[in-house]
Every structure is written in structure tokens, then in C-alpha cells.
Chain A
Amino acid sequence: MKTAGQPVPHESANGHVTGEALYTDDLAGRFPGLLHAWPVLAPHAHARVISLDAALARVEPGVIDILTGADVPGDGNTGPSRHDEPLFPDEVMFHQQPVAWVLADTLEAARLGASRVIAKYEPLPAILTIQEAIDAGSYLTDSLRIARGDLSALESSALRVEGELSLGGQEHFYLETQASIAWRDESGAISVHSSTQHPSETQEVIARVLGVPRHHITVECLRMGGAFGGKEVQANACAAIAALGVWKTGRAVSVRLTRQLDMALTGKRHPYLARYAAGFSSDGRIEALRLLLYSDGGWSLDLSEPIMWRSLFHCDNAYHLPAVEVTGRVCRTHKTSQTAFRGFGGPQAMVVIEDILAQAAQRLSLPAHVIRERNFYREGDTTHYGQEVEGADRILTIWQRLKKTSRFDERRSVVAAFNAQHAHVKRGIAITPVKFGISFTATFFNQGGALVLIYRDGSVQVNHGGTEMGQGLFTKIRQIAAESLGVAEERVRVMPTRTDKVPNTSATAASAGTDLNGAAVVDACRQITGRLGPVAASLPASATFADVCEAAYRQRIPLFAQGYYKTPDIHFDPVAGRGRPFYYFAYGAAVSEVEVDAFTGAHRLLRTDILEDVGDSVSPIVDRGQIEGGFIQGVGWLTLEELLWDDNGRVATDSASTYKLPSWSEVPEVFEVNFLERATQPGVVLGSKAVGEPPLMLAISVREAIREAVAAFGHGDVVTFASPATPERIFFAVRRVRMGSGVFTFSVPHPL
């Protein structure tokens, strides 16, 4: 029975469209006496807490209790990788950091109670930008570095491109904000419903805060209303507050952030500052690259270090860099602690190399697509960190096929003709590639677990370590399990993720959810089918799966199994900057065409064509959805979504009306998405490939198409602009290029 590879709708689609699919906050009505929490927010980006006086809050009607540091029985620090995130800080490290939480019968009472807490602060100087952090030497990490080859080409190359690029961050804006409900369960232990990508770590953090062994804590994630990396570690603090509230009051506690609280309190995609110098041959081959990357990590380390590593790994995108030195450092600022976001540092570095190549093309008067193609990795090449680029021939294959199906060359001529006839509206078309490494770069995370239970009637429950956030993992797991067991999908129920079913799991992240958990499910199913095979052989051919299960039970053969998978052959030495951090690479390319209005700086995305290597697709509707959704999310990051902080360090874009994510107007009018055919990926579950993150970076084609369109207003001058390409930035970029001044003068205030 073929179930894998079939275009089936999302496993919960009917629940989604009827409203019956439940999310954490939807469960609130099931907990009598549920308390609601609201934080006491510090009005400074950096300050010492002098005193907290909650007396007035306690008499506010409906207020039940106030949580402060004195209530923590264990270790009140939730830092995931470094011990640097006190739940109740003595020193405020970002604007609106919670210093206490008020618990009340209603959210309104909790909010009013929080406004009655009198907190006194001694304001301290705050560092709010990357440049301020560099000037102050304020860092969260040492310099991370990867290098190879001889950089002297930088001095001798025919063309030197140098400059800096500033990249804005991105708010996750998962539609469901952070949410947890904790209660004391029937056995007296603590149970938690949490919207978390990493239930095991949420469990770990709660146990740490409460000072109890982890077996005392059960965390369940039904599903998430989006996450995108924003719930990989940042769900933990909310869950810890909920659990602490239960510990203190005995009543169930809900911590659900409003949109504004979520945007003010939780981390985002890292803003970056890149400084670069690159040498090119006269035919556009990159000979050497020196790149310095600074990320704005915010107040605590969070995942900023592996995110920066991934930036270093991806500063090549799909291009062979013969000589390179890339250095990255995470700046410490008094802002929210920036965190994982789809692409995990890869996108920022890939935008930079594409920017450098585009500038080189303009300087050399060569089409950008020609320069890009000339620099592709070829089969047998190794990356700057020493990993062979297996499947590198797919880069060129995808490139050539996509150029053909999108009629790229023909449309370039049409665009040029259009531009010749229009003075104030210009079009641009660009093609860009994506190569993205798949695996957690911290090798030990690359493991998955499963527990498959079959009942005597032949119905199946599948438990695994992954979480569902909309990416379709459960849909794929269901197809994989049905395929592995040889049963219809309807027999398979994928269970909500719980720490008491599969322990010590990894975050569902790094695009690896299906690779790791799917393979573990296959392992468990194979054990069971191995046991059932002889049973089935002893039964008439007409025996159903249920008959086989019943017979196996009577023969005292276990109908359940645990499955396990660890990714083989991966390693990385951070000191040497060498290794094989990725099990494989995902490839793709996109062609985008835009139209820019010089009067307003606005652009329209006319058409996008994508060809993506998803291996053998386990679930085509899911995979296409990931490609389209990831692409549009990338378009938002690069053209629309602008995170701004005011002079006091407060997030100025802290709501849906001030922070704009893509809506209908950002969808390309023509949107063609195809999978690379005959693309079986050896060694991965059912020959498939990861698809969660790579498509986001296909959106770089839109940024590059905008650059082409802006350039068409000028006379061959180089076009540069910071990211995102908002109407304001493009409006002024067009003005600059029309005046033809200044664009060749690269200011490099800090020598590289």
C-alpha cells in the first residue's frame, strides 16, 4: 500500500477548518479555578531593581498572589546554554523585562494588579545597537572563525568589492502567542500544556526552577499555532512561571502572552552587521573573501552561538570560495534575547554573499546570473570548513532547468524592453540559488525517538519526539508509519507530543523533524513488522492486519516497539573550524520578477518560479506548503518586516498594526513551484530531504530583482541598500542611482 508520497491534506486539516483542533489556550475552560498571569514590566532597558512593593497589588480585587524571586524553590535561571537568564532579575537587561508576575482570577485583574506593584529602579546606561556594542566591547561570545586559503588575492584581484551591509531582524509572529497551562495532576506531580518546540527542555527548565527531578514534570504539546524557531527555547520561561504558580498556589495557572507582550518580551531573528572585502577576477570569479559578521544577540546568549556558526557555514551559499576568512561575533545589547528563526543565521550570511556577487556583476558589467553560475560549487569541491559538497551537480541542474521553465533569458529581454519604455516604473528579474546544510550543528542533538503502539484491533498509536507547529511533521509521520506498517493511514493516530512517552528528545528544529523522528518511527515499525511477518505467514492470505495483530497477541508477541535514530557520519571541530557538520545539503533556486515605482518606492512581486530539491517527497502538499510559506516569510523579512526600537530601547513595532507581515498583497501574481525530479536522497527516511528552512532563502531572489529594477533607473551605477527593502529605502535608492552619485564610494570605517 503506497501512502508515502501521496498528496494528502494536513493530518489535522478537518480540525483546523472546524475549529475543533485545540491549542494550549483553548484548554483554559477545562481547568476550574484557573489563574491568569501578567508580568510586572521594567520601564528601562538597563537598570538595577532597588525594590518591589506589591502591597497594593495584593488588595486589588481578584489578585491571588505575586511571584517573585523569593518564591523559587530551585534554581530560578532558565538560560538554555549558559546560566544567564534569571526569571526574576536583580538587574533589568531589556526594556519591559518582567521583574515579577501577578496571578489573578482573570487576566484583567492580573493586569491591574501588575500596574499596582511599585518597583523602584536605578537606571543604568544601555547598549542598543550593534555599533554601540562594538564600541563598548560588549559581546556574548568570543570571535568564531573559519578560514582557508591565501587571502592575498584580496590585494591582487582585478576587482575589489568592499563595504558593509546592515540586515534587520524579524519577529516570528506565530499566530498563536506563547502559552502554557500548568496544574497539579492526579498524582500530585506537575503537568504542563505548553506551546513549545522542545518539550524535553521545557521539562528540564521547569524541574530546575522547582528543584525537583525531571520525572516529576510532564510536558505535553498538543500542537502549536506556528513557531518558526520562536518556541525552541523561548517557551520555557512562560512554562516555568506557570509551573511556579502552581507550586505556590496549588491552582492551575495559565501564562499566555498577549501579542504586545509577546513582541516585547521574546527574542527575534538576529539583526546583523556585515563588513566585507572580496576580490574577483575580471571574469567574475571570486578569488578571496574576508567577512566579518556581527549579530545583535540581545541580553543573553540563548542560541546565538550556534546561530552564528551557521552563518559562518553559509557565507558561501552555493559558491566555491577558494580563499576565505569569515569571523563572527555575537554582540550583547540591552534588548530581547534574539533566538532561533527559520534559517538560524544562514539567511543573513547568504544575503551578504549574494549582495557581494551582485555588486561585482554591476562593477564588471556582467549579468548577475552569469557571475553566480560561474562561481557554483562543482562535484568534488569542498566547503571552506572542509566538507565535501555532495550533490553539488544538483545546483547547476536546478539552475538550468529553472531558467528554462521560467523562460528566464526571454523574460530578461522583455524586462529590458519594458524598462526602455517606462521612465518611472522599472522591472527587474533575478535568479538566485540556495544550498543549505541539514543537521543540528551541535552533533548530539541529531537523535530521534519513537514509541509505536499497536492494539489488538490493528489500530496504531505513534508517539515520537517531534512537535507539530504547522510544518506538517505529523502528516508525514502518519504517512511514514502507515507505509512502514503496510496499513491505511486511517489506522494510524499520531499522538500529541509528551515527555512521558519519548524522553530526552531534541527540539523540533533545524528542518530535521522528519529526518530524525521519521527514521525513529521507521525503526520501531520495522521491529514490529519483523515480528508480525511470521505470524502473517501462518495465517490465510485473507487475514486482515487486525487478524494478524490479534494472532500475534495470542502468540505472546509484543505489539509495540521503541524506535531510535541518530544521524551518522557528522562531526565538527570548532577550534579548527573543520569537519562535516551536515549530513547532506538541500538545494533549490528561485526566479523572481518585480516592478518598482520610483514615485513611491513601492514594488510589486509579479512572478516567482521555484525549483526545490526535496528528495522523494513524502508529502507533496506539505512540502509545497513549506516551500511557498517559507519563501513568503523570507520575502517579508527582506522587503516588509521592519523591527524598530526607540531611543529608550523599547520595541517601537510591538503590534500587528505597526509590524507588518506579508498579506495578500505580497503573494506573487504568478507563483510556480516544482520539485526536482528523480532526486532520491540516499540514507534519509524514504529518500526524502528536509524542507522547513531552505525555501526561506529563495526570497533573496526578490531582493536581487529589486536591485535589478532600481539599477534600471540609473546608468550602470552600483545599487546598494540595507535590508529590509522597504518603500522608503527603495525610494531613496532610486534617487541615488538616478543622480548617479556616491554609489561607488564605499566607506569602510573599520579596516578589516
Chain B
Amino acid sequence: MAPATAAQPLEFLLNGSPVHVDTASPNMTLLEFLRARGLTGAKEGCAEGECGACAVVLVADEGGRTAFRAVNSCLMFLPMAAQQEIYTVESLASHGALADAQRAMAAAGGSQCGYCTPGFVMSLFAEHYRPGRTGPCDTLALAGNLCRCTGYRPIRDAALALGAPPDDRFRRRLGQASPAIGAVEIDGFARPSTVEACADILARDPSAALVSGATDLGVDSNLHGRRWPTLVSVEGISELRDFSETTTGVTIGAGLPLTDIGRAWREAPPVLAEWLTLFASPLIRNRATLGGNLATASPIGDAAPLLLALDASLRLAGSGGRRTVPLAAFFTGYRKTVLERGELIAAIEIPRPLPALVRFYKIAKRRLDDISTVAAAMAIDQDTAGRVRRARFAFGGVAATPLRLVEAEQAVEGQPWNEAAVERVQDVIQRTLTPMSDHRGTKEFRLEVSKSLVEKFWWERPR
């Protein structure tokens, strides 16, 4: 079903110049568009946001400051570029003079075959100009880019060689506001600006699919050829990007990119940084959102275990009104949730006080930029006598949905937190978890390592 209003031209700023696209397939990626336009610096290395060879930079608002944000252009549908300001690798050098990030990469021997290099340059460029950066560039900012040739050492050297960004057109750009990302409605793509408008579109067009950062849906499109007649982006709904921190809790807008959560949450527990570092990669975190991660209901999503351990609830909004659902009751089956047609996640609420001790563990073949074999979040509050007041054990990758082991929690609550308690939790794991074997790990490993992680959590307790 066609959107109610007439199709509008798609407009955005590309390398400083306005671009008008009259007809765009909503399933065309930004990468395909750029390459067809002759901007072939961005490459397709994997088409699923793993390698970063397609990275470009967006100008984005970062809590009131303007910043460059490196993103995977293979996971942005072209209509999502509407009203954005985008820079590609071709725009960095000026009259033959390389940008600092480019010069450093070249001089350090940071390129061999060169195919991944433009993507690295864009990630490094964004990090070089990161507002508020005082020390050297954070090499973890490049963790979403894969290189098969160099072994990364020279790229690390290039990143560490960069000082403050020069006072140039790019730095001056950061002194001005980022583009406003408002409502858009073009053929096959809608970006409403309110929850209500979004719910309306979903209600009147049963074929419409919700999209947030597209870091999962885009993979479905690129790798599995899945197509949607209409995509409805939540990126224009400012309410979904709100963040608030009060004495009673923390509320995270469901559409806030993961990167911004780390920045906005000022009194975050240490587990947040551990978790974010292991959660996908910077290029993904710059687009991906908690709402998207939870709504896809993947049993191996990294958000659910930690949020379950923090007793999070979800604020849902739709044409039928608003309601709040505990996250523990949100997943109903493999890739299934309580979300109704026309309903979306508006925010995630985390009550305070937070547990005194929270840890997040991720078992994966590769420490950074990988998908969980098993993910676990565990939390413990103890009373002054050392007895467990509150325990939370939440796992991903061990059943059809992420889950909380309530039985295990009850088995230790009121008891001392000791090796005997660990064994009781392990016993529940042994009896109740139902992992599967796949290319990430066997079911035996998933079960045994889940038990082992409880012991690790105990062993690593503050002493």
C-alpha cells in the first residue's frame, strides 16, 4: 500500500554538495548509490557490517555537540540518507593535500592491498575529530574495520601518531549544528517524527516494517535478499532518542544509538563500558539501538542479558496506547515478542538502585566484533551479613530466547554467596538450559561454559 502523501525527492548533502534523488529503490543501499555515482572509495567487503570497508561519515548530534560518526554504508538504505550530511573518503584530501588521518596511514605502512583502507581512514578521521578528545586517538574506534593484510600494528601506529585535528573546514563544520533529521515520506519509505504518526503508518499499511539502525534488517536484505514494500524508520522520532537519569531509575530511548548510551549515562556502573566494548563494533554501535536489538528478539542479542540482570522494563507505544512490560516477560518464543502490530518499543527503563555487583561475560570466537556463542549477565546484592538479597542470572545463546534463571536466583537468595551457592546455580543451569549446536559452538560447550561463567563471576568478586 502506498504512503498517503505523494512521493518527495530524496535530498541530502554529500561531500558538501546537495544531492537530489528523484527515484530511489527503498532497498538500494547507500553504498550501492555511492559506487554507482563514481564514488568507489567505499568498498563492499562483506555487505553485513562486519568489515567496515564501506565506512562513510555522517554529521550527527552527540548530546548537543556536533560530531562525525563513521557508519557502514552497506547497512544504510538510501532513503535513510534523507536530510543527512555525508562525507566519503573522496572528500578528505584538499587540492592534493592529504588529511592527517590519510597521511598517517600512508606513512605508517597502514595499507597493503588498500581495499580496506578507505574504511579505516573514515573511522580514523571521525576519531581524529572527535569532540572533546584530549589524549591520543582511541584505537578501539577502529575495531569495526577488518584488515586481512597488515596485522593492524601499522594502523595502530598511525592512529597513535595523530595529534589534535587542524583548524580546517572539517573542524569548523563541527562548530555548527548537525542536520535536523525530520519527517520524510517517499515511495516505500517513511520516517515519521512522532510515535503516534509511526503507529498510524503501521496500522494502515500491514506490509510496513519498522527499522531503526538497520544493522540487522540490512543484513537480512543484503545477504538473504529479503525485501520490504515499505520501511518505516524511527530515526526521526526525537522521543526515542531521549535519555534521563534520576534517583529512581535510568530511561534510555529505544532509538538512541548504543554509542550515545555510553556517552549519556554519566553515573553508569563499570559493566556498561565492558558490555559496550564487546557489543558489535563502533561502526555498528553508531547506528544500532536497544529498541532494534530487543525487538529482533534474537536469542544471541547482547542487550537482553544485561538488561534482564538490571531488571529493565520496556515502555511500549502504539495505536492502542502505551504500556510498560518487564523485559523478562517480553520474549515469547524464538524471534517472538509481546509487541503487537503497530506497537514499538519507546524506551527502556532501568530501576535504581542498581545491583552492587554486575558483570557481563561474552563467549565468542573473537573477543571484539563478534556474535555471542553465550552471553551472560550476573548481578548480586548482599546484605551486611553477606547473604544474597538480590541475585540475577541472565543468559543468551542457551535457549530459544534470552532468559533469566529465576529458579537459580531463588536458590541463592537469602543464602551466603559462596561456592555452595555457585553449585546450586550450576545445577539449575544443568537442568533447565536447552542450548543447540551450531557453527558458533556445540551445545555441550554452551552448557558447560554457562556453568563455568557462574564460577568465574564468583571467583572475580571484589575481595
On A, residues with C-beta under 8 Å from B are 9-10, 12-23, 25-26, 28-29, 111, 173-176, 223-228, 258-260, 424, 469-472, 597-602, 604, 621-622, 624-625, 628-633, 640, 642, 644, 652-653, 655-658, 660-667, 671, 726-728, 731-732, 735
* Residues in A neighbouring B366, C-beta threshold 8 A: 640, 660, 662-663, 665-666
Within the complex, which residue of B98, B113, B223, B438 is in contact with A18, where a contact is CB–CB below 8 Å?
B98
Contact status of A628 and B148, CB under 8 A, knowing A13-B106, A175-B51, A601-B449:
no
Contact status of A599 and B455, CB under 8 A, knowing A225-B43, A663-B369, A664-B143:
yes
B223 near A16 with CB under 8 A, answer no
On B, residues with C-beta under 8 Å from A are 35-36, 38-48, 50-51, 53, 88-90, 92-93, 98, 101-103, 105-107, 109-118, 121, 139-140, 142-143, 146-154, 156, 219, 223, 225, 361, 363-371, 373, 438-442, 445, 448-449, 452-453, 455-456, 459
Contact status of A599 and B112, CB under 8 A, knowing A18-B92, A175-B146, A655-B46:
no
Q: In the bound complex, what is the Cα–Cα distance between A696 and B413 (angstroms)?
A: 52
Q: Offer 8 A-B interface pairs, CB within 8 angstroms, sorted by A.
A: A26-B40, A226-B112, A259-B44, A600-B361, A640-B365, A662-B152, A664-B369, A727-B363
Q: In the bound complex, what is the Cα–Cα distance between A535 and B107 (angstroms)?
A: 38
Q: In the bound complex, what is the Cα–Cα distance between A653 and B53 (angstroms)?
A: 20
Best-buried of B140, B151, B439, B441 by chain A (most CB within 10 Å) = B151
Q: In the bound complex, what is the Cα–Cα distance between A652 and B125 (angstroms)?
A: 36
* Residues in B neighbouring A29, C-beta threshold 8 A: 35-36, 38, 40
Q: In the bound complex, what is the Cα–Cα distance between A548 and B90 (angstroms)?
A: 40
Best-buried of B90, B103, B147, B371 by chain A (most CB within 10 Å) = B147
Q: In the bound complex, what is the Cα–Cα distance between A19 and B363 (angstroms)?
A: 36
Contact status of A259 and B142, CB under 8 A, knowing A17-B118, A471-B112:
no
* Residues in B neighbouring A174, C-beta threshold 8 A: 113, 115, 148
B151 near A18 with CB under 8 A, answer no
Contact status of A600 and B118, CB under 8 A, knowing A19-B90, A631-B151, A656-B48:
no
B106 near A17 with CB under 8 A, answer yes
A656 near B45 with CB under 8 A, answer yes
Contact status of A17 and B48, CB under 8 A, knowing A176-B43, A625-B154, A628-B153:
no
Q: In the bound complex, what is the Cα–Cα distance between A667 and B140 (angstroms)?
A: 12
Q: In the bound complex, what is the Cα–Cα distance between A470 and B116 (angstroms)?
A: 11
* Residues in B neighbouring A20, C-beta threshold 8 A: 41, 90
Q: In the bound complex, what is the Cα–Cα distance between A258 and B50 (angstroms)?
A: 14
B150 near A19 with CB under 8 A, answer no
Contact status of A10 and B459, CB under 8 A, knowing A228-B148, A633-B148, A728-B442:
no
A17 near B151 with CB under 8 A, answer no
Q: In the bound complex, what is the Cα–Cα distance between A599 and B453 (angstroms)?
A: 6
Known: A22-B40, A600-B456. 6 other contacts (CB 8 A): A28-B35, A223-B113, A225-B114, A600-B452, A644-B439, A728-B441
B153 near A671 with CB under 8 A, answer yes
B225 near A111 with CB under 8 A, answer yes
B51 near A19 with CB under 8 A, answer no
Q: In the bound complex, what is the Cα–Cα distance between A260 and B50 (angstroms)?
A: 13
B367 near A665 with CB under 8 A, answer yes
Q: In the bound complex, what is the Cα–Cα distance between A26 and B41 (angstroms)?
A: 8
Contact status of A470 and B114, CB under 8 A, knowing A599-B453, A664-B368:
yes
Q: In the bound complex, what is the Cα–Cα distance between A331 and B110 (angstroms)?
A: 40
B106 near A625 with CB under 8 A, answer no
* Residues in A neighbouring B455, C-beta threshold 8 A: 599
A621 near B109 with CB under 8 A, answer yes
B48 near A175 with CB under 8 A, answer no
In the complex, the 10 A-B pairs of residues with the closest C-beta atoms, listed nearest first: A19-B41, A470-B113, A225-B115, A16-B114, A632-B151, A656-B50, A656-B46, A599-B456, A470-B112, A665-B367
Contact status of A470 and B149, CB under 8 A, knowing A175-B45, A175-B115, A656-B48:
yes
A599 near B43 with CB under 8 A, answer no
Closest to B51 in A: A656
Within the complex, which residue of A224, A469, A658, A731 is in contact with B445, where a contact is CB–CB below 8 Å?
A731
Closest to B101 in A: A17
Within the complex, which residue of B149, B223, B365, B373 is in contact with A226, where a contact is CB–CB below 8 Å?
B149
Closest to B219 in A: A657
Contact status of A727 and B365, CB under 8 A, knowing A10-B109, A175-B51, A600-B456:
yes
Closest to B438 in A: A652
* Residues in B neighbouring A624, C-beta threshold 8 A: 109
Q: In the bound complex, what is the Cα–Cα distance between A678 and B50 (angstroms)?
A: 43
Best-buried of A23, A470, A624, A655 by chain B (most CB within 10 Å) = A470
Q: In the bound complex, what is the Cα–Cα distance between A29 and B38 (angstroms)?
A: 7
Q: Give A478 Cβ to nearest chain B Cβ, in Å.
A: 15
* Residues in B neighbouring A631, C-beta threshold 8 A: 151
Closest to A624 in B: B109
Q: In the bound complex, what is the Cα–Cα distance between A621 and B109 (angstroms)?
A: 6
Contact status of A17 and B105, CB under 8 A, knowing A260-B223, A469-B113:
yes
A175 near B113 with CB under 8 A, answer yes
Closest to B103 in A: A17
* Residues in A neighbouring B371, C-beta threshold 8 A: 657
Contact status of A662 and B151, CB under 8 A, knowing A18-B90, A26-B40:
yes
Best-buried of B43, B47, B366, B453 by chain A (most CB within 10 Å) = B366
Contact status of A14 and B98, CB under 8 A, knowing A599-B455, A602-B367:
yes
